[in-house]
Amino acid sequence: MLTAITGAVESGLIYAIMALGVYLSFRVLDFPDLTVDGSFVTGAAVAATLIVHGVNPFAATCLALFVGFAAGCMTGLLHTAGKVNPLLSGILMMIALYSINLRIMGRSNVPLLNQKTVFTTIQEWGTKIGLDSAAAKTWGILLSMTLLALLFKWFTDWFLQTEMGLAIRATGDNPRMIRSLSANTHLLIVLGLGLSNAMVAFSGALVAQYGAFADVGMGIGMIIIGLASVIIGEAVFGTKTIARATLSVIGGAIMYRIVVSLALRVQFLETGDVKLITACMVILALVVPQLVRQQQEKKRKEAKRRNQAQAATAAAVGKGGADVAVKRDL
Amino acid sequence: MLQLNGIYKVFHEGTPDEKIALQNVHLSLQKGDFVTIIGSNGAGKSTLMNLISGVLFPDEGTIWIDGQDVTMMPEYVRSRYIGRVFQDPMAGTAPNMTIEENLALAYARNQTRTLRRGVTKKRRDEFRELLATLHLGLEDRLQAKVGLLSGGERQALSLLMATFTEPSILLLDEHTAALDPARAELITNLTKEIVERYRLTTLMVTHNMQQAIDLGNRLIMMDKGQIILEVDEKEKKRLTVEKLLAEFRRIRGEQLASDRAILS
């Protein structure tokens, strides 16, 4: 049980970087960007292929970030310069990336067993300072991924407070207004989607090394996982400020992983059911808050009506009493 | 300051819906001019505003701002020189961002946006001072989301955001039309105050004839895509709504008398 939870937290932290990317496109830019399904694998493919060819895993992971950035920019250009609808530009890029990913890897699956990855390196460092192998693995990954997720969170918070970041937020909030304040919304959308997919690809590169393989199908439904993290996080932790919202996204990503790993311990659920579980979680996170709000509203109105009725009867009784008093005076 | 030469604009050219929105419009504003524009619906007032701000481009003619030909300059480049307030109070501000963030967006209008922090301590103090000039108490609500403000407050903020960087041209497109009379008066007074403070060259569209007469030093009347009447500073001081209507009737004949309902 405990190992299941630690594993969920570890992968939650890695996927949190992807979720931050989705937050950037979905929430900040208000752009439903489906490129994510493709760019996640692109990140994994680039990192895995480079690692197999003997490139330093840290350098390979960083390169994945830049390739993801380029993929996001392409989606942005399709939408802004090509005037293609946002959803369609994302889908087009996603499909195109599927073939590109196959080209990068040369086949549909690249195993990374017995390869030097970011995680094996961290484990080595752990054993060097005297931890035993298992502890070095668990604590090394937990600590480094926490730091990494927080680094990306800090970057997002900082960026969204800069002049450029404010303009990107305004592009998602009121594009007409920010154009009248001399901002090139096209450029900002391209930049925003680039950053978003850079994070997604970076996360993909880490996931490939964590799972010790890159597979061309590993990105299917990634956008929904990202969305699940964003929505669950927002529902549970709130969105008052940017810093709070990004923390919520990380929390949401971890919660999502924990729920999935717990659900999979139920006897009749299989690994293949994960996507169904995800879909159900997103639906719940979207519908339940609405129902709760409706119920609260209904209760509030009923209470108000009851109070009014009571006040009315009280007034009527008071009036009646007064009438009697008047009569008696007469 | 602002110069329009022979502007011609047609929509849906070559289709049964073809509509000439503006024809042969000449207009020249000196620095500090405050021109009010009146006219019935479809007269071409909004098209004129959109052409000046770069949302639309003219089919013929040229537009000059500060001695620079901006006819084909894209909106986001041109808006460095142009402040704009829209009719819809929701249009001029970003609802999910705070008051200070909105002001920071406007602050960066005439600069290149970089990775500097948008709201610094120094700027926050400036913003507080600016907001105090609105007398709405917004200076104490810097961190409130703009979506929580009332329509009047949002429009006052839009007005401030459009003006405090002292743009070459200020465009006001029926910016009080969506507000209740009390709020409209508040915004009208603020407009007067701000335009005088910064001595802004201003072009204001309005449906309210009294407002058009009260504000500004020049007045033009548009109809069917043309400027049909220009009133200069001297004449405007003696202008009344009655005189304006009489003038309108004289130029366009009786068939437009019913427009009084729209114009007044």
Number of domains in chain A: 1
Asked whether residue A282 is domain-assigned, the answer is no
- CB-nearest to B108 from A163, A169, A177 is A163
CB B89 within 8 A of CB B174: no
Per-residue pLDDT of chain B (264 residues; tens, 9 = 90+): 899 999 999 999 888 888 889 999 999 999 999 999 998 888 889 899 999 999 999 999 999 999 999 999 999 999 999 999 999 989 999 999 999 999 999 999 988 899 999 999 999 999 999 999 999 999 999 999 999 999 999 999 999 999 999 999 999 999 999 899 988 999 999 999 999 999 999 999 998 888 898 898 999 999 888 898 898 888 888 888 888 888 888 887 655 555 555 554
**Could you tell me if residue A320 is inside a domain?**
no
Letter string b/e over residues A269-296, b meaning 16 or more CB atoms within 10 A of that residue's CB = eeeeebeebbeebbeebeeeeeeeeeee
From A240's Cα to the closest Cα of chain B, the distance in A is 10
Any domain includes B182: yes
Most B CBs within 10 Å: which of A28, A156, A177, A239, as the mutation test of the B interface? A177
Q: How confident is the model at residue A325 (pLDDT cuts 50, 70, 90)?
A: very low
Distance from CA of A118 to the nearest CA of B (A): 30
In a domain, B225, yes or no: yes
**pLDDT on residue A310:** 87
Q: Quick check: A182 and B96 CB within 8 A?
A: no
Q: Specify the pTM.
A: 0.88
* Cβ-Cβ contacts under 8 Å, B97 against chain A: 166, 169-170, 173
Pairwise CA distance, residues B102 & B125, whole Å: 15
**Is B83 among the domain residues?**
yes
pLDDT value for A326? 45
CATH number for the domain spanning A130: value is 1.10.3470
Q: Nearest CA to A212 among A144, A108, A110?
A: A110
Minimum mean pLDDT among A174-178, A256-260, A278-282: which range? Answer: A278-282
Q: What is the largest CA-CA distance in chain A?
A: 109
Would residue A125 count as lying in a domain? yes
Q: Which three-class secondary structure string do you get for chain B?
A: CEEEEEEEEEECCCCCCCEEEEEEEEEEECCCCEEEEEECCCCCHHHHHHHHHCCCCCCEEEEEECCEECCCCCHHHHCCCEEEECCCCCCCCCCCCEHHHHHHHHHCCCCCCCCCECCCHHHHHHHHHHHHCCCCCHHHCCCCEHHHCCHHHHHHHHHHHHHCCCCCEEEEECCCCCCCHHHHHHHHHHHHHHHHHHCCEEEEECCCHHHHHHCCCEEEEEECCEEEEEECHHHHHCCCHHHHHHHHHHHHCHHHHHHHHHHC
| Most confident by average pLDDT, A133-137, A184-188, A312-316 | A184-188
Task: Express each pLDDT in A278-314 by its tens digit.
Answer: 888 888 888 888 899 899 999 999 998 888 888 888 8
Domain contains B98 = no
| Percent over 90 (pLDDT), chain A | 69
Within-domain flag for B142: no
Number of domains in chain B: 1
Q: What is the CATH number of the domain that holds B254?
A: 3.40.50.300
Q: For position B201, what pLDDT does the model report?
A: 95
Give the C-alpha separation, B8 to A142, whole Å: 67
Query: Which residues numbered 150-189 in A keep a CB inside 8 Å of some CB on B?
Result: 159, 161-167, 169-170, 173-174, 176-185
Residue B160's domain spans which residues? 2-92+149-263
On whether ipTM exceeds 0.90, the answer is: no
Q: Does the residue B139 lie in any domain?
A: no
Return the residue of A nearest to B93 by Cα: A177
Q: Exposed, middle or buried: residue A151 (CB in 10 Å: 0-12, 13-18, 19+)? A: exposed
Interface contact flag, B93 A177, Cβ < 8 Å:
yes
Chain pair A-B, CB pairs under 8 angstroms: 83
Please report whether residue B101 resides in a domain. Answer: no
Instruction: Sort out which chain B residues have CB atoms less than 8 A from A29's CB and list them.
Output: none
Q: A306 in a domain, yes or no? A: no
Structural domain includes residue B131: no
Confidence of residue A160 (pLDDT cuts 50, 70, 90): very high
Q: What pLDDT score does A194 carry?
A: 97
Taking the Cβ of residue B121 and every Cβ of chain A, the question of whether any pair is shorter than 8 Å is answered with no
Domain span at residue A207 reads: 2-265
Residues of chain A in contact with residue B161, where contact means CB-CB under 8 angstroms, are 181
A314 lies in some domain? no
Residue A227 lies in a domain: yes
